Structure formats: structure tokens, C-alpha cells
Amino acid sequence: MQETLHLLWRAIKQDRLATFGVLVVTILVLVALFAPVLATHDPYAMTERVEGTALWVRGEQVQIQEGIAADTLFSVSADGPDSYVAAGAGGHVMRYADGEWSPVATPTTETLRAISAAAARSIAVGHNGTVLWYIDGVFEQVPAPTEADLFGVSLTEDGTALAVGESGTVLHLDGDEWRTLEVPVARDLHAVALLSSDYGYIVGARGTLLRFDGQQLAEVVSPTFRDLINIALFDRSAGYAVGERGTVLRYREGEWVEERGPLSRTLRSVAMSSAEEALVVGTHGDMMRRSGGTWQQVATGYSRHFRGVTSDGDTAVAVGTDPYINSLAHPSPEHYFGTTHNGRDIYSQVIHGSRTALVVGFVAALMVTVIGTNVGLFSGYVRGRTDNVLMRIVDIMYALPLEPFAMVLVLLGRPGIHIIILAVGLLTWRTTARIIRSQVLSLADRPFVKAARIAGASPLRIIYKHIAPNVLPLAFLQLAVAMAFAITAEATLSFLGLGPPRLYSWGTILHQARLSGAWRTAWWWVIPPGVLIMLTVVSVFFISRALEVIANPRLSRR
Amino acid sequence: MTRLIVSKLLQMLFTLWVILTVLFFLFRLGLPDPTVALVTDGLSPEDRAIVTERFGLDRPLPAQYVIYLGNALTGEFGRSFHYNAPVTSIVGERVANTLVLMLPAILISYTIGPLLGVLLAWKRGSKLEAGGITAGLVLRSAPMFWVGMLVIMLFGIQLGWFPTSGMRTFPYEAANFFEKIFTLDFLHHLILPTIVITLYYTGLPMLIMRNTMLEVMGEDFIEFAGARGLSRARVMYRHAARNALLPVVTQAAVTAGLAVGGQVVVEVVFSWPGLGLEMFNAVRTSDYPLAQAAFMLMAAIILVLNFAADVIYGRLDPRVSYTSEGAGV
């Protein structure tokens, strides 16, 4: 046994291709062992991306501008002619001027939920009572009398401001001082619109509507019980509020009335450009416009969520977007092999897939070799009727196609790793059996076997003690060949969807690529698993070629 | 020779019988209610009674088995759930579709492969030989379905040279199978899958041929032929190759069997309406009668192909190759 191994090692060292094969297999085994460390992502996790996006609406034209900020933008406000400021997560504030978005430094990393600009000044508010003032080109954090998350803010030309937030928080800025207002409800307040120092409305959860008269807040009868998320007032006689499930409230002459628009998902922001015209944005790229007395959906060609919108005459700008699934991303330093349609990291899947390939390959090959070698030993030594029957069975095995056989097993059971091992193991020992048998046939007539028989050794003893060690090199060779075959078979069967549904293998990755339909263009999804299958199998072939020289000295002449 | 054919024929029928038997018990044991293997759920009680009667499902297992064998002999495999039609009528054309894709590809592989093998043996020790061996092994390692996907991506989608699925461009009219396949459109559809199958199967005969050639080339008669002043090419291809062909032929029979199974993935990738794709769909829709019949037919194809190989090379000694290249598994 030891001598055999030593011979094998020598043969491999002499053959360059075999050395390459051993190297590759060693690396693969290491990769499989350390898969959790080497994988950069959870192979099952749908990775997400966030980025700020702007959508411009100029008349009938809609134009998307992706990646303008590194984080979600929540709110946007016009702060001059063709000039806008937008605030978002991570304390990001972006300013649009001279046709370009550029970041503005802020002293915070808190999420900024709303921004409001008037008369060359801006206020941004956010989580944990964050209030930022923008004056003379610099953002300054000002102390606020609350720790609550603030969701909305509105600033007037004359310097009055209201900020609203969770659990009925309302801050009032008059002159230089922020004070907390008495609020008749304890619900979350989502947005505020202030026209002047003594006229404004606040909207909030469960249809909350509050009126501000310069001093205090009064609850107004609301026509809805759904969450209201945003509000815009054009003047004292015209306004709109929007909310979840396509809720739209229209304000006319002191009364709020519910209206039906064409959208049914959550509406997140509304902007008005005249008493009759309004633009609403929502989730999944939803947008609608009211003009000429009716609401009409605007196709944006976009499916991510919008957060805020503002309009300035003919131009409107909407910002977003929420974190979205990073689907079908090209290879990048973040995802070496790109991502699947579900945003799963393909590199990590491939790394984890090496485990399945090696385990199934080895277990199935072992099964094949054990069955095949034993059948070959008995068939070749006992001969006669036993040999006949066993070889007939081998013939029958050759008539069964592997993939369809596995399919029948799956049809009668359920897909899984055991089906693959069983199919390969039960079917493909046929070749090993034939090859071992013919070797045993020639060994059985050798003097040492005859001597053992005369000495009275039992057939079992002769087979396992005397003959088996001599076919061991050949069995090793067959193990390698069977392993190459088993790895290909596993990939093929998994590709057909017969593999374990919750376990990644190289075949499963390709199966999912095919199912998604994205494989026709997503080359980064198709190439890596296939290259690894090929590399593994060819390495085993290389190794087995070197083993052949030992197993079959006839070949060493080559 | 006649005796050999008869004995091989009997052997083939015996194997077919064993497979039928194994299938019978697999399906009876694997399914709680045997009627689901043969009839649809939506069947009316009267129809169900007819099928039960025809397959003897109300009788004991041995009686069922006898009826099953009789039905199989007459080609009665039940009704497909999915198509709601007799299985036999569905699979008939699929067999032809499968063969028309598989046979040419195997034939090409086993023509080109040995020719290349002779070349490798001839140029022994050269870079060409080393490259040829590596290329042969690499091609055998790349799974067919993956190569199929790559080929479709490149030639079908990117370059748009070839259609990526099916046998013909829809809609088309063909009165019979031959009218369907004797068209340029069909050839256009055939090229990509044929390339994929050929690439995979060429490596094996090439490597086997090379190995046997090297052995044959050491024999005396080759030296004599060279001494007689015959050209090297003539010695190689006329004298040596002829004597080295045996193991390749043996392998061709085994490959035919493997190819029928391997065909499934190619048909799936190229949506080729053959037996393999039908079987694949039958498994997905749990269409037991169809799956059973498709499997039976695939086994039958293998047996017939092996039988043909046996008959054609009847007197050849079925030597078993030791080499890993020779081990088709």
C-alpha cells in the first residue's frame, strides 16, 4: 500500500500536467475547507445598493440622473432660480447649481429627512432631533429642544419655520429661538407646509391633519384614516396632501376632500406649480400629474422608490431612492464575479459550490470504486455462473442512461444531493467492474494465487489478501476517473434542477442562471462556475494519466 | 455470424425485459397509488374505470405485471397527463428528433477523432501532440450544457448568426418528418447543437486512437511497410490506423449509451424537441406515463445502437481499454 502511494507520487512529480492537476485539486480542497472565510458575501443574501437619484420633469420630458449621491435622498427644495438643495441619509446634502450636482459639507452623519429653502437660507432636519441651518454657504448644527426624529420642515420667506417629527413633535422657530409647541395628538407627524408665519398645515399618521395659525395647532377633521406622508400648499385656498395606498386629499376653500388618482401604491411627496397643477411621486417609480382638472399617470421608466419632489415653474425634480437589490451587477471590486438577478454574490456562490462538487464527487466516486472493485474481484476470481450473472448485470447497466435514470429517481422521490450520489453510484460502477475483472482474470492464474489455493486458503481470503492488493493501483486510477465523471455528473444533474434546491453547487448556479433567463447576456454568471467545473475535471484527468503509468506498466513505453 | 446476431438479439431482448421489470417495480413501489402513474386526476370515473381495466390495476401485482409487459410489447404506455393524449403518439416523433441530432454528431466525432489521433501518434513528441492531448482532455472536461450556453451567448445572441432554440423557425409547415428536416432552416438550427456535441465527444476517440496507434507502431509489420518504401502517411493511415481501430469501435458502442443520456442537457439548453427534453418536462410536470415511456425508449435506443455496433464489428474481440481516456464510465 505504502509502496503504491510512493510510486504514485513519483509518477505525478515526473509529469508536468499531473503536477498542475495536483496543484489545482489541492487549491480546490483548501477553498472548499475555508469557503466561509474566502466568500465575501453570504451566498444566499440579496445584496442591496443605495444611491441618490434625481428625476427631472421638464414639460412632457422625463429624464433620470442616477448616482448623484452616495446615499438615499429624502427631500428636495428649490432655493433659487434653477437651483436646488437635496438632503438624505448619512447627513448628505447635495446642491444643484449651474447644471451640476455637488456635495455640500454638513456637520452630521444623521439621516436628514427633510430640507426647506427660502430666501437664500435652508433648514434641514433629521433623526435624533437634528436641525441644520444653512446660512452664508455653511451648514451649522443648532441645538434643538428635542431628541425625537424629525420628519418634516418648512421655512417661510420671513424666517418662520416649523419642524415636525415622531410622536407628535412640533418645533416652532420664531426669530432665533426654537420652542416646542403643544400638540393635540401623539401620532407621528410626517410633513408640514407653511405659507406664512401664521398659516400652515401639518400631516401625519392615520390621516392626521393639523392647522397652524401662528400660535397654536388645532386638529382638523380628516376624510381619511390612512397615513398621510406629504403636503404642499400653493396659497390659502389650494393644497394637496398624499399618503399610503394612493391616498390624495385636496384642499379647497377651507375643506379637505379625498380624491382618487390613478396610482394605488404609497405616494410619498407632492409639489404644486399652480393652484390647479400638482405633481406626485411615490414608490416603484410611480409618478402622476394633475392638470386640466384630472390626475394622469406619468411614465418614468423607472422602478425604484422616489422620496421627495419639488417644482419651480415648468421644471420639477424628484429625488430618491431607497436601497434596491443590486441585480445583475457586472464584476467589480465589490462583487468579483458580479451578482445574480436577485443581487446574490456569484463569487461567494462559486466558492461555496466547490464544497458540493468535491464532496459529491468524492462520495459518489468512492461508492463506484467500492462496488465496481468488489464486483470485478468476485466476477474475475469465482468465474462461472457468478461471473455470468454479474457481467449480465453490467451489460444492463450500460443500457441505462445516467441523466434519465436520475430523473426517474427524482420523479419518484424529491430532488437532493442523495439522488445524485445514488444515481452515479448505482449506475457507473459498470466500467470499474469490467476493468478490474479483466485484471483479476489474468492474476487468478498466476503462481502465487495457485499456491494460496493449494495451501487451503478460502476464496474470500485469496480475493482480499492476495489478489486485491495487486489491483489496488488500478482501483486508485478508477477512483480518479470516477471522480472526474461524478463531478461532471453532479454539475449536469444540478443544472437540470435535480440537485438540492437549498445548496449551492456549480451546476445549481448555472441552473438558476438558466431559470432566470438572464444567462443569455449575463456572461459573468455563466462563465465562472463552468470554468471551475472544467478546471477541476481536467485536473483529475491529468492526475489519472500519471496514475495510469503505475496501474498499467504496459503504457510506460510511451 | 447468424448465430452471433441471434444471440446478441436475444441478449438485447433479455436486457429490455429486465429494464421493463425494474421500471415496473420502481414505479409501483415509488408511488402510493399506482393509478396516478397511468391516469390523470381529472379523469371521469368511467374513463378511470376503462384505464383501470386496461392496465388491470384492480388485480394483484403479478397479474398487473403480466398485463404491463403485454402493454409494453404493443406500445401501450398509458396517457400523458400533460398532453392528454396517448404517450406513444407523443414520443414517436421525439425519437426521430433525438436521433437526427445525435447520430450525425457522434458520426462526425468518431470520424474526426480517430483521424486526429493518428496525426498525434504520427507527430509523437512534438508540441502538436502535447497540445492535442491537452486540448482533448480539456474539451472532455467542459460540461456540454455549459459549452452550449457559451455558444448560444456568443453565436446566437451576440453575433446573431444562428438560431438559439428549436428545430425550425415557427411557423412552418411540414407534412412529414422528412419534409421537416430536408430544409436549410433545419440545418441552420442543427449547427450549434451539433458543434457542442461533437466538441465533447471528439476528444475520447482521438486519445484512444493515439494510444493504440503507439502500440501498433511498435509492431514489425509497420517497420516492414516503411522499409518497402511506402510513404509515411500511407503507412500511418492505411496500415497502422486500420489495426488500431478496434478499441475506438468498442468505445463507440459505450459512447452511444452515454450520448443518449448526455443528449438530455443539450436538448434542454437548445430547446430541441427530442426525447430528452420531453423526459425533462415530464419530470417537471410529474407526468409519470410519459417519463416511463421516454426512459424506456432511451434504453431501447442504446440497446439498438450497441446491437448495431456488435453486428457490424461482429468478429472483433471486445477488448476493454485500460486507459483513463478509454474509460467512458
Sign, CA dihedral B13-B16-B18-B20, equals negative
The region, left, alpha or beta by phi > 0 then psi within -120 to 50, assigned to residue B111 is alpha
- For residue B190, give the 3-state DSSP assignment: helix
pTM of the predicted model over 0.80: no
Average pLDDT over residues A337-363: 88
The residues that bridge with A209 in the sheet, in sequence order, are A203
Order of strands, sheet of A189-196, starting from the edge strand that comes earlier in the sequence: A189-196, A199-204, A209-212, A217-219
- 3-state secondary structure string across B256-272: HHHHHHHHHHHHHHCCC
CA angle (A177 as vertex; A172, A179 as ends), nearest 5: 40
Q: What is the mean pLDDT of chain B?
A: 79
Asked if residue A61 lies in contact with residue A49, where contact means CB atoms within 8 angstroms, the answer is no
**Sequence letter at residue A217:** L
> How do A238-243 and B85-86 pair as beta strands?
unpaired
Asked if residue A133 lies in contact with residue A177, where contact means CB atoms within 8 angstroms, the answer is no
| Partner residue facing A399 (CB), from B211, B257, B280 | B257
Q: What is the mean pLDDT of chain A?
A: 85
pLDDT the model gives residue B108: 92
Q: What is the CATH number of domain A48-325?
A: 2.130.10.10
The residues that bridge with A219 in the sheet, in sequence order, are A210
pLDDT the model gives residue B322: 34
Which residue has better confidence, B176 or A389?
A: A389
The 10s digit of each residue's pLDDT in A33-85 is 988 888 888 888 787 777 778 888 887 788 887 777 778 888 888 887 788 88
pLDDT the model gives residue A548: 78
pLDDT the model gives residue B317: 45
* Structure ipTM: 0.84
pLDDT the model gives residue A373: 93
Q: Is residue B177 predicted with pLDDT exceeding 80?
A: no
- How far is residue B219 from each of residues A98, A356, A375, B226, measured CA to CA in Å? 88, 47, 35, 12
Q: Which residues of A touch B211 (CB under 8 A)?
A: 555, 558
pLDDT the model gives residue A68: 78
Question: Which residue intervals of chain B are DSSP H helices?
Answer: 2-30, 45-55, 61-73, 87-122, 127-141, 144-151, 177-181, 184-216, 220-227, 232-234, 241-244, 246-269, 275-284, 288-312
| Partner residue facing B295 (CB), from A408, A438, A536 | A408
- From the list B139, B105, B133, the residue with the least C-alpha distance to B119 is B133
Alpha carbon of B72: minimum distance to chain A alpha carbons (Å):
17
The 10s digit of each residue's pLDDT in A10-32 is 877 888 888 899 999 999 999 98
Q: Is residue B321 predicted with pLDDT exceeding 70?
A: no
> How do A130-135 and A138-141 pair as beta strands?
antiparallel
Asked if residue A227 lies in contact with residue A205, where contact means CB atoms within 8 angstroms, the answer is yes
| A556 close to B (CB below 8 A) | no
Q: Which residues of A touch B19 (CB under 8 A)?
A: 396, 399-400
pLDDT the model gives residue B34: 55
Alpha carbon of A489: minimum distance to chain B alpha carbons (Å):
9
Q: Is residue A454 predicted with pLDDT exceeding 70?
A: yes
**Searching chain B, which residue's CA lies closest to the CA of residue A532?**
B142
Distance CA A372, CA A370 (A): 6
Distance CA A230, CA B311 (A): 84
Q: Is residue A302 predicted with pLDDT exceeding 80?
A: no
Task: For an interface test with B, give the residue of A398, A410, A442, A533 to mutate (most B CBs within 10 A).
Answer: A398
pLDDT level of residue A554 (50, 70, 90 thresholds) = low
Q: Which three cell numbers stand for residue B205?
A: 476517440
The 10s digit of each residue's pLDDT in A253-288 is 778 888 888 888 888 888 888 878 888 888 888 888
Average pLDDT over residues B193-207: 91
pLDDT level of residue B37 (50, 70, 90 thresholds) = low
pLDDT the model gives residue A372: 93
Asked if residue B246 lies in contact with residue B211, where contact means CB atoms within 8 angstroms, the answer is no
| A526 close to B (CB below 8 A) | yes
Q: Decide if A412 and B260 are in contact by the 8 Å CB cutoff.
A: no
Give percent of chain B above pLDDT 90.
Answer: 12
Interacting residues of A209 by C-beta distance below 8 A, sequence separation 6+: A201, A202, A203, A219, A220, A221, A222, A228, A241, A249, A256
Distance CA A134, CA A112 (A): 13
Asked if residue A49 lies in contact with residue A321, where contact means CB atoms within 8 angstroms, the answer is no
Average pLDDT over residues B197-217: 87
- 3-state secondary structure string across A130-161: EEEEEECCEEEECCCCCCCCEEEEEECCCCCE
DSSP single-letter state for residue B40: -
pLDDT the model gives residue B197: 92
Asked if residue A532 lies in contact with residue A506, where contact means CB atoms within 8 angstroms, the answer is yes
pLDDT level of residue B324 (50, 70, 90 thresholds) = very low
Alpha carbon of A398: minimum distance to chain B alpha carbons (Å):
7
Q: Which residues of B touch A529 (CB under 8 A)?
A: 146
The region, left, alpha or beta by phi > 0 then psi within -120 to 50, assigned to residue A102 is beta
Instruction: Look at domain A2-46+332-557 and name its CATH class.
Output: mainly alpha
The 10s digit of each residue's pLDDT in A192-228 is 888 888 888 889 888 888 888 878 888 888 888 888 9
Write down the residue that cell numbers 430536408 correspond to. B182
A2-46+332-557 and A48-325 share one fold: no
Q: Decide if B328 and A431 are in contact by the 8 Å CB cutoff.
A: yes
pLDDT level of residue B61 (50, 70, 90 thresholds) = confident
Q: Decide if A488 and B143 are in contact by the 8 Å CB cutoff.
A: yes
Alpha carbon of A447: minimum distance to chain B alpha carbons (Å):
23
Write down the residue that cell numbers 428545430 correspond to. B167
Rg (CA), chain A: 37
The 10s digit of each residue's pLDDT in B138-173 is 988 999 999 999 999 999 888 888 888 877 777 677
- From the list B69, B79, B75, B90, the residue with the least C-alpha distance to B24 is B69
pLDDT the model gives residue B42: 57
Task: For an interface test with B, give the residue of A389, A400, A419 to mutate (most B CBs within 10 A).
Answer: A400
- Parse chain A into domains and list their residue ranges: 2-46+332-557, 48-325
The 10s digit of each residue's pLDDT in A383-437 is 888 888 998 888 888 888 888 888 888 888 778 888 889 889 888 898 889 888 8
Q: Which residues of A touch B298 (CB under 8 A)?
A: 401, 404
Asked if residue B197 lies in contact with residue B105, where contact means CB atoms within 8 angstroms, the answer is yes
**Sequence letter at residue A222:** S
pLDDT the model gives residue B328: 43
Question: Which residue intervals of A192-252 are DSSP H helices?
Answer: none
CB pairs under 8 A between A and B: 178
Q: Decide if A514 and B269 are in contact by the 8 Å CB cutoff.
A: yes
Average pLDDT over residues B72-88: 76
pLDDT the model gives residue A2: 74
- How far is residue B161 from each of residues A311, A511, B151, B169, measured CA to CA in Å? 50, 25, 11, 14
φ/ψ of residue A456, rounded to 5: 90, 15
pLDDT the model gives residue B263: 86
pLDDT level of residue A552 (50, 70, 90 thresholds) = low
Distance CA A508, CA A501 (A): 8
Q: Is residue B40 predicted with pLDDT exceeding 70?
A: no
